[in-house]
Structure 1
Amino acid sequence: MSIDITWERGDSATSVSTVAALDATLDTISHAHTAHLPYCVTLVAPGGGDFPVMLDICIGHPERSIAYHVAADGSSAWGYQPDLKPGPTFTFDYAGTPTDAWPERTRLTNTTAREAARQFLATGGQRPRALAWETGLSR
């Protein structure tokens, strides 16, 4: 299984097929942009049908991340760790646009976001089980 990873305005992209390659790519993105805002990276699985099967995670913040999943049927959900309180509000780079991550969206650690990315790769795009998922959270 191979997934595509995009960041910045989508003009930065690569494909990975192993957990080691995924981790190395996320490390490279994170380290290359330490002087900039944290980045939202998008992982896209093949064969999504009408909707791209994707997982967004934020990398580069020292403490927290976000996770947003879109399934092949178009349903989407925000990921979180049930045992973790809302985190800080922070601004991240989403395709070149500074975007705020609200405290209720930052209820996951970087370690757990990385594990969710690994599960996304290993399952071909299924919603990662490393997180609980909220479909009705508004803002």
Structure 2
Amino acid sequence: MSIDITWGRGDGAASVSTVAELDATLDTISRAHTEHLPYCVTLIAPGRGEFPVMLDICIGHPERSFVYHVAADGSSAWGYQPDLEPGPPFTFDYAGSPTDAWPERTRVTDATARQAARQFLTSGGQRPPALTWETVE
């Protein structure tokens, strides 16, 4: 399966079909933007329903990330690591707009966010089991 990846406001887009390609793309985004705000990166699985199946992760913060999933039925959830306290406040680039991260949503390390991205790719867009999920009502 192939997924699309987008970040910034027209800064970039890629399509990947292997974990190696995904890792390389995330590494490139992280390295290319070290002097800028961390980026919200969106991974989009092929359409199977009314809503795009997607996973948002933050790339480029030295300590924390966030993970947000939208399923084909439109349900969404925030991922978190139960053993982590809320993270430090920080600002990230969301489609070209500086956006403040909610500390309670940044209970994810960069390594775990990347693991979730790999699981999203290899599962065809399913909610990654690397995290515990809080459903958005």
Same fold, TM-score > 0.5, yes or no: yes
For structure 1, which runs of at least 5 residues remain unmatched after alignment? none
1:86 maps to 2:113:
no
Q: What are the superposed Cα offsets for residues 72-123 of structure 1, whole Å, 9 maximum, x if unpaired?
A: 0000000000011111011000000111111100001000000000000000
1:44 maps to 2:82:
no
1:104 maps to 2:116:
no
For structure 2, which runs of at least 5 residues remain unmatched after alignment? none
> What CA distance in whole angstroms lies between the structure 1 residues aligned with 2:123 and 2:94?
25
> Where does residue 116 of structure 1 map in the other structure?
116
> What CA distance in whole angstroms lies between the structure 1 residues aligned with 2:4 and 2:16?
6
Question: What letter corresponds to residue 104 of structure 1 in structure 2?
Answer: E
> What CA distance in whole angstroms lies between the structure 2 residues aligned with 1:120 and 1:97?
25
Deviation for aligned residue 1:16? 0.2
Percent of aligned pairs sharing the same letter = 82
> What CA distance in whole angstroms lies between the structure 2 residues aligned with 1:34 and 1:26?
12
> What CA distance in whole angstroms lies between the structure 2 residues aligned with 1:136 and 1:41?
20
Question: What letter corresponds to residue 132 of structure 2 in structure 1?
Answer: A
RMSD: 1.1
Give TM-score scaled by structure 1 length. 0.96
| Pairing 1:54-73 to 2, within 5 Å after superposition | 54-73=54-73
> What CA distance in whole angstroms lies between the structure 2 residues aligned with 1:5 and 1:79?
19
Evaluate the alpha carbon distance shift between residue 136 and residue 14 of structure 1 in structure 2; reply closer, same or farther with a 3 A threshold. Answer: closer
| Pairing 1:10-49 to 2, within 5 Å after superposition | 10=10, 12-49=12-49
Give TM-score scaled by structure 2 length. 0.97
Aligned length: 137
> What CA distance in whole angstroms lies between the structure 2 residues aligned with 1:40 and 1:122?
20
> What CA distance in whole angstroms lies between the structure 1 residues aligned with 2:134 and 2:25?
28
> What CA distance in whole angstroms lies between the structure 1 residues aligned with 2:10 and 2:45?
15
Higher strand share: 1
Evaluate the alpha carbon distance shift between residue 37 and residue 84 of structure 1 in structure 2; reply closer, same or farther with a 3 A threshold. Answer: same
